[in-house]
Structure 1
Amino acid sequence: MSASSRYLLPCAVSATAAVVSLSSCAQKSDGGDGSVRVTASDSKCEVSRTQFPAGHVTVSIENTGSKVTEVYVLFPDDRIAAERENIGPGTKSSITTEIKSGEYRIACKPGMKGDGIRQKVTVTGRNAAAKRSPEADRAVAAYRSYVLAQAEQTLPRAQAFADAVKAGDVARAKKLYAPSRIGWERTEPVAESFGDIDPKVDVREDGLEAGQDPATDWTGWHRLEKALWQGGKIGAREKELADRLMSDLNTWVKKVGAAEITPTSMANGAKSLLDEVARNKVTGEEERHSHTDLVDFKGNLEGARQSYELLKPVASRNDIGLTRELDSQFVALSQLLEKFRTGGDYTYASYDTVTAPQRKELSDRVNALAEPLSKLAAAVVK
Structure 2
Amino acid sequence: MPARRLTAATALSAAVVLTALTGCAEKSDAAGDGAVQVTATDSECRLSRTEFPAGHVELAVHNKGSKVTEVYVYAEGDRIVTERENIGPGTKAAITTEMKAGEYEIACKPGMKGDGIRQAVTVTGKGTAKKLDPRLASAVADYRAYVQEQADLTIPAVRKFTDAVKDGDVEAARAEYAKSRVGWERIEPVAESFGDIDPKVDVREDGLEPGQEWTGWHRLEKALWKEGKIGADEKKLAARLLTDLEDWNERVGKAELTPTGMANGAKELLDEVATGKVTGEENRYAHTDLWDFDANVEGAKKAYALLEPVASENDPELTEELDEQFAALQDKLDDYRKGDGFVSYDTVGKADRKELSDAVNSLAEPLSRLAAAVAKQ
Q: Structure 1-normalised TM-score?
A: 0.89
Deviation at 1:49? 1.9
2:262 aligns with 266
CA distance in 1, matches of 2:96, 2:82: 9
Q: Which residue does the alignment assign to 1:154?
A: 154
Confirm whether residue 179 of structure 1 aligns to residue 179 of structure 2.
yes
Aligned partners of 1:98 and 1:264 also within 8 Å: yes
Instruction: Report the Cα distance in structure 1 between the residues aligned to 2:152 and 2:29, rounded to whole angstroms.
Output: 40
**Counterpart for residue 12 of structure 2:** none
Cα distance in structure 1, aligned partners of 2:333 and 2:129: 40
* Structure 2 CA distance for aligned equivalents of residues 127 and 58 of structure 1: 13
**2-side partners of 1:195 and 1:236: how far apart?**
28
**Residue 337 of structure 2 aligns to a residue in which SS?**
coil
Q: 1:318 to 1:21 in 2, by over 3 A?
A: closer
Contact 2:266 2:303 (C-alpha < 8 Å) held by counterparts: yes
Superposition deviation, residue 37 in structure 1: 2.5
- Partner residue, 2:136: 136
Query: 1:204-262 CA distances to partner (integer Å, 9 max, x unpaired)?
Result: 011111x225xxx0111001001100001111111111111011101111111111111
Contact 2:186/2:299 (<8 A) preserved: yes
8 Å Cα contact 1:3/1:199 also seen in 2: no
- Aligned residues between the structures: 355
Given the superposition, is the C-alpha separation of residues 19 and 334 from structure 1 closer, same or farther in structure 2, using an over 3 Å criterion?
Answer: closer
Report the CA distance between 1:63 and its aligned residue: 1.2
Q: Match for 1:264: what amino acid?
A: T
Q: Which residue of 1 aligns with 2:93?
A: 93
User: Can you list the C-alpha shifts for 1:83-103, whole angstroms capped at 9, x where unaligned?
Assistant: 111212222112111101111
Supply the distance in 1 between the matched residues of 2:301 and 2:124 (Cα, whole angstroms).
Answer: 34
Unaligned runs of 5+ in 1: 5-15, 23-32
Q: Does 1:370 align with 2:369?
A: no
Q: In percent, how many aligned pairs have the same letter?
A: 65
SS in 2 for 1:219: coil
Q: Which residue matches 1:222?
A: 218
Answer yes or no: is 1:282 the counterpart of 2:278: yes
Partners of 2:235 and 2:324 in 1: CA distance: 45
Are the aligned partners of 1:75 and 1:81 in contact in 2 as well (CA < 8 Å)? yes
Map 1:1-382; keep pairs closer than 5 Å. 1-2=1-2, 34-126=34-126, 129-209=129-209, 211-213=210-212, 217-344=213-340, 347-382=341-376
Q: CA deviation at 1:143?
A: 0.5
- Contact 2:35 2:57 survives alignment (8 Å): no
Distance in 1 (alpha carbons) for counterparts of 2:220 and 2:185: 17
Instruction: Answer yes or no: is the 8 Å Cα contact 1:318–1:379 preserved in 2.
Output: yes
What amino acid maps onto 1:318 in structure 2? Answer: N
SS in 2 for 1:257: helix
Once the two structures are TM-superposed, the CA of residue 172 in structure 1 deviates from its matched residue by: 0.3
**Structure 2: how far apart are the matches of 1:94 and 1:312?**
20
CA shift at 1:156, angstroms? 0.1
For the 8 Å contact 2:56–2:375, the answer to whether it is kept is no
User: 1:129/1:289 Cα in 2 relative to 1: closer, same or farther (>3 Å)?
Assistant: farther
Is the CA contact (8 Å cut-off) linking 1:3 and 1:198 kept in structure 2? no
Contact 1:71 1:83 in 2 (8 A): yes
Cα separation, 1, equivalents of 2:124 and 2:367: 30
Asked whether the equivalents of residues 80 and 194 of structure 1 are also in contact (C-alpha less than 8 Å), the reply is yes
Contact 2:41 2:65 in 1 (8 A): yes
Tell me how far 1:61 sits from its aligned partner: 1.1
Q: Is the 8 A contact 2:259 2:371 kept in 1?
A: yes
RMSD: 1.9
| Matched-pair contact (CA < 8 Å) for 1:2–1:112 | no
In structure 2, what is the Cα distance between the partners aligned to 1:190 and 1:129? 25
Q: Residues 19 and 59 of structure 1 are in contact (CA less than 8 Å); yes or no, is this contact kept in structure 2?
A: no
Change (3 A) 1:193 1:3: farther
Preserved CA contact (<8 Å) 2:53 2:123: yes
Quote how far apart the aligned CAs of 1:34 are.
Answer: 4.6
The structure that is helix-richer by fraction is 2
* CA spacing shift, 1:190–1:128, aligned 2, 3 Å: farther
Q: Which amino acid in 1 is paired with 2:312?
A: S
Residue 19 of structure 1 contacts residue 38 of structure 1 at CA under 8 Å; is this kept in 2? Answer: no
